[in-house]
């Protein structure tokens, strides 16, 4: 085991937070067991939800990833006390001294996260105002926040554009609203949930996102005292209440991380047990995994994903909102598709620039063609901006080592998988981004038999 990884693992530190470059010797099947904890895309929002409570909250199974550290910093600049609880992964969040924060402090802590936009509703309820810096996040499209701001205005908020961000106030308080989202946006749905729970009156949200992480956030809000009902056809009704209390909640597992390790097992011809993974939230992924030729066994404490030794098969996949195939799953899967016998098509319909990571795979020998406006003749699922893109992946193509730079979180993990799949040595730089969403990923790679050295 790398001394740095060994030392840090002993200290329980997430080594990935500080590492920049790895040298990876590929061609070795990943085999062994790793554990996934709380979902990055739930725990960060659950931490923000604690702001709405009059008493402290306890969030369990929180992974040590940089996105969590960013939100912890943002909560602390707003006067929230965040401390570790009794069990590993427990966070105690005490909002009783919440206060306004200066934009510069918020900006300094926001990093590349998009989470600050979700502070609006809770801060408007608690303090009557919120400051949000211009947002970061992976460069996978222009990532607008128009749905969020339109929703806040419908609750009665006033949005003022400042040179370095936005200032939001609620001069007459926040009232329940009728909101229909142009697209089932995860973030905008969370924005409405976090604002409506304490608004006066009833909110009806139409065309809402219903991802498992959204349902887990609704469960948290219900524990706090909120009255939320999920109706048929993506309609959510929220009856505003005057007061909410803190919650105790164990976060849903990270489906994206589980799918990433599953794709790594397939691409490297390996056999990986992902502890904590649950079938009910991965059904669509499991169907595609099986159609590509992978095998999986479901256990009470996790899922075993493995390559059965027979040739992988090409598939046609369209990313979609839940319960469709998640956009965050296509990057790791595409690496496995480079080893399938035939031509696969991946339609990306959620973001307008989410195939950038394929450049590095092509450099390593993959045969991938990205069609920036999708494939001619295919119906567009969502009549929005000219959004859909398509990647045609023809395999099998042996991958050879290369020097690659990680572009974003999910694409970055795909680069790791590609380097582990390729024959020979690769260097992967800028890997620190991966620690935004993958807890202790170096220790996990070690546990699965990957051969790599930390280069800086
Ligand atoms: C969340 O992003 C996740 N991030 C993303 O995961 C995930 O890919 C995405 O949902 C879709 O499932 C977090 O939860 C932190 P959206 P979010 O609002 O909320 C457009 C990862 O790797 N849109 O559902 O930002 C937007 O441009 C990340 O873990 C607007 O046009 O996603 C995109 O095309 C990557 N206006 C589409 O909607 C808005 O105001 C979906 O975005 C908001 C969104």
**For 20-53, what is each residue's pLDDT tens digit?**
899 999 999 999 999 999 999 999 999 999 999 9
Cα 208 to ligand 1 centre (Å): 13
Nearest ligand 1 atom to the CA of 142 is: 27
Confidence of residue 109 (pLDDT cuts 50, 70, 90): confident
CA–CA separation, 8 and 288 (whole Å): 36
Question: What is each CA distance from 7 to 33, 37, 288, 347, in whole angstroms?
Answer: 20, 22, 38, 43
65-90: b or e for each residue (b if 16 or more CB lie within 10 Å)? Answer: bbbbbbbbbbbebbbbebeeeeeebb
**Best CA proximity match to 110, nearest among 129, 136, 130, 90:** 136
pLDDT, mean of residues 86-112? 89
The tokens describing 255, both together, are 């489906």
User: Looking at the predicted structure, is the pLDDT value of residue 288 above 70?
Assistant: yes
Half-sphere exposure of 73 (CA within 13 A, CB side): 18
pLDDT at 456 over 50: yes
Hey, whose CA ends up nearest to atom 26 of ligand 1?
A: 143
pLDDT digits (tens, 9 = 90+) for 301-353: 999 999 999 999 999 999 999 999 999 999 999 999 999 999 999 999 898 88
Question: Could you give the count of Cα atoms lying within 13 Å of 445 in the half-sphere of its Cβ?
Answer: 33
Reported pTM: 0.94
- pLDDT, average across residues 152-169: 92
How many angstroms separate the alpha carbon of residue 55 from the centre of ligand 1? Answer: 30
Distance CA 271, CA 33 (A): 9
Output the CA 91–ligand 1 centroid distance in Å. 25
Ligand 1 pocket test, pick from 145, 350, 354, 407 with the greatest ligand atom count within 8 Å of Cβ, gives 350
CA distances 46 to 60, 137, 177, 220, 247, Å, are 10, 18, 23, 7, 10
- CA dist 311 to 154, 346, 391, Å? 54, 19, 21
Contact partners, residue 449, CB within 8 Å, separation at least 6: 28, 29, 30, 31, 32
Mean pLDDT value across residues 65-90: 95
pLDDT digits (tens, 9 = 90+) for 352-384: 889 999 999 999 999 999 998 888 665 555 555
- Name the residue at shortest CA distance from atom 18 of ligand 1: 185
Burial of 232 (0-12, 13-18, 19+ CB in 10 A): exposed
Asked whether residue 11 carries a pLDDT value surpassing 70, the answer given is no
3-36+253-454, what's its fold?
Answer: UDP-n-acetylglucosamine1-carboxyvinyl-transferase; Chain (3.65.10)
- Whose C-alpha lies nearest to ligand 1, atom 4? 41
**Shortest-distance atom of ligand 1 to CA 185:** 24
- Looking at every residue in the chain, the average pLDDT score rounds to 92
Mean pLDDT value of segment 73-88? 96
CA 221 / ligand 1 centre spacing (Å): 21
Q: Are 38 and 62 in contact (CB under 8 A)?
A: yes
Rounded CA gap, 293 and 269, in Å? Answer: 11
Q: Which of ligand 1's atoms lies nearest the C-alpha of 410?
A: 22
**CA dihedral in degrees (161, 163, 165, 166; nearest 10)?**
-20
What pLDDT, on a 0 to 100 scale, did the predictor assign at position 12? 40
Which residues line the pocket of ligand 1, CB cutoff 6 A?
A: 40-41, 114, 138, 141, 143-148, 183, 185-188, 256, 326-328, 350-351, 409-410, 437
- 206, 234 contact by CB (below 8 A): yes
Res. 447: pLDDT tops 50: yes
Share of the chain above pLDDT 90, in %: 80
Q: What is the mean pLDDT of residues 222-244?
A: 97
Query: What is the Cα–Cα distance from 325 to 286, expressed in whole angstroms?
Result: 10
* Residue 266 scores a pLDDT above 50: yes
Domain boundaries defined on the chain:
3-36+253-454, 40-250
Dump pLDDT digits (tens) for 384-424.
555 678 999 999 999 999 999 998 899 999 999 999 999 99
Both tokens of 235, joined, read 């309609």
Q: How far apart are CA 49 and CA 72, in angstroms?
A: 12
- Please check whether the domain covering 40-250 is classified as CATH 3.30.360.10: no
Instruction: Give the ligand 1 atom nearest the CA of 256.
Output: 29
C-alpha 194/C-alpha 200 separation (Å) is 13
To test the pocket of ligand 1, the residue of 112, 115, 180, 183 to mutate (highest count of ligand atoms within 8 Å of its CB) is 183
pLDDT at 345: 95
Report the DSSP beta bridge partners of residue 81.
Answer: 94
Q: Tokens 């369209």 map to which residue? A: 318
Whether residue 17 has pLDDT greater than 80? no
Which residue among 41, 113, 181, 437 has the greatest number of ligand 1 atoms within 8 angstroms of its CB, and so is best to mutate? 41
212 C-alpha to center of ligand 1: Å?
A: 14
Q: Kindly indicate the confidence band of residue 271, based on its pLDDT and cuts at 50, 70 and 90.
A: very high
- Please identify every residue annotated as catalytic: 138
Q: What gap in Å lies between CA 197 and CA 218, rounded to an integer?
A: 10
Residue 272 structure tokens = 């990986």
Among the ranges given (153-167, 211-225, 252-266), the one the predictor scored with the smallest mean pLDDT: 153-167
Checking if the pLDDT of 8 tops 50, the result is: no
144 pLDDT band, cuts 50/70/90, is confident
Among 111-125, 242-256, 257-271, 394-408, name the one with the lowest average pLDDT: 111-125
Which residue has its alpha carbon closest to ligand 1 atom 6? 328
Measured in angstroms, how far is the CA atom of residue 153 from the centroid of ligand 1? Answer: 20
CA of 88 to the centre of ligand 1 (A): 29
pLDDT at site 268: 98
Residue whose CA lies nearest to ligand 1 atom number 3: 41
Asked if residues 410 and 256 have their Cβ atoms less than 8 Å apart, the reply is yes
- Judge whether 3-36+253-454 and 40-250 match in fold: yes
């Amino acid at each position: 085991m790398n001394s740095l990884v060994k030392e840090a693992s002993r200290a329980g530190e997430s080594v990935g937070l500080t590492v920049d470059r790895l040298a990876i010797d590929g061609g070795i099947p990943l085999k062994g067991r790793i554990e996934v904890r709380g979902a990055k895309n739930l725990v960060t929002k659950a931490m923000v939800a604690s702001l709405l409570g009059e008493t402290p909250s306890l969030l369990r199974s929180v992974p040590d990833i940089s996105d969590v550290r960013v939100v912890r910093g943002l909560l602390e600049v707003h006067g929230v006390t965040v401390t570790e609880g009794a069990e590993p992964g427990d966070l105690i969040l005490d909002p009783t001294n919440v206060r306004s924060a200066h934009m510069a402090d918020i900006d300094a802590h926001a990093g590349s996260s998009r989470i600050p936009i979700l502070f609006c509703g809770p801060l408007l309820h608690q303090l009557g105002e919120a400051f949000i810096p211009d947002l970061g996040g992976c460069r996978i499209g222009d990532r607008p926040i128009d749905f969020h701001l339109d929703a806040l205005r419908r609750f009665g908020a006033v949005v003022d554009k400042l040179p370095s961000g936005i200032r939001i106030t609620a001069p007459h308080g926040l009232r329940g609203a009728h909101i229909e989202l142009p697209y089932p946006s995860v973030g905008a749905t969370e924005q409405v949930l976090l604002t409506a729970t304490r608004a006066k009156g009833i909110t009806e949200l139409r065309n809402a996102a219903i991802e498992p992480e959204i349902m887990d956030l609704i469960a948290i809000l219900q524990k706090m005292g909120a009255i939320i009902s999920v109706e048929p056809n993506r309609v959510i009704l929220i009856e505003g209440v005057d007061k909410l209390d803190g919650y105790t909640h164990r976060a849903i597992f990270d489906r994206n991380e589980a799918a990433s390790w599953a794709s790594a097992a397939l691409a490297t011809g390996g056999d990986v047990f992902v502890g904590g993974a649950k079938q009910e939230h991965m059904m669509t992924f499991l169907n595609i995994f099986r159609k590509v030729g992978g095998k999986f066994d479901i256990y009470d404490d996790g899922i075993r994903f493995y390559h059965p030794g027979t040739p992988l098969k090409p598939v046609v996949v369209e990313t979609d909102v839940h319960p469709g195939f998640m956009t965050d799953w296509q990057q790791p899967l595409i690496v496995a598709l480079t080893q399938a016998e035939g031509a696969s098509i991946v339609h990306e319909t959620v973001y307008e620039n989410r195939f950038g990571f394929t450049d590095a795979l092509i450099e390593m020998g993959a045969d991938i063609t990205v069609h920036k406006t999708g494939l001619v003749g295919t119906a567009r699922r969502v009549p929005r901006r000219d959004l859909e893109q398509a990647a045609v992946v023809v395999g099998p193509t042996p991958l050879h080592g290369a020097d690659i730079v990680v572009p974003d979180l999910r694409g970055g993990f795909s680069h790791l998988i590609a380097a582990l799949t390729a024959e020979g040595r690769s260097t992967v730089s800028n890997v620190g981004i991966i620690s935004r969403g993958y807890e202790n990923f170096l220790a996990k790679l070690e546990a699965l038999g990957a051969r790599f050295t930390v280069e800086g």
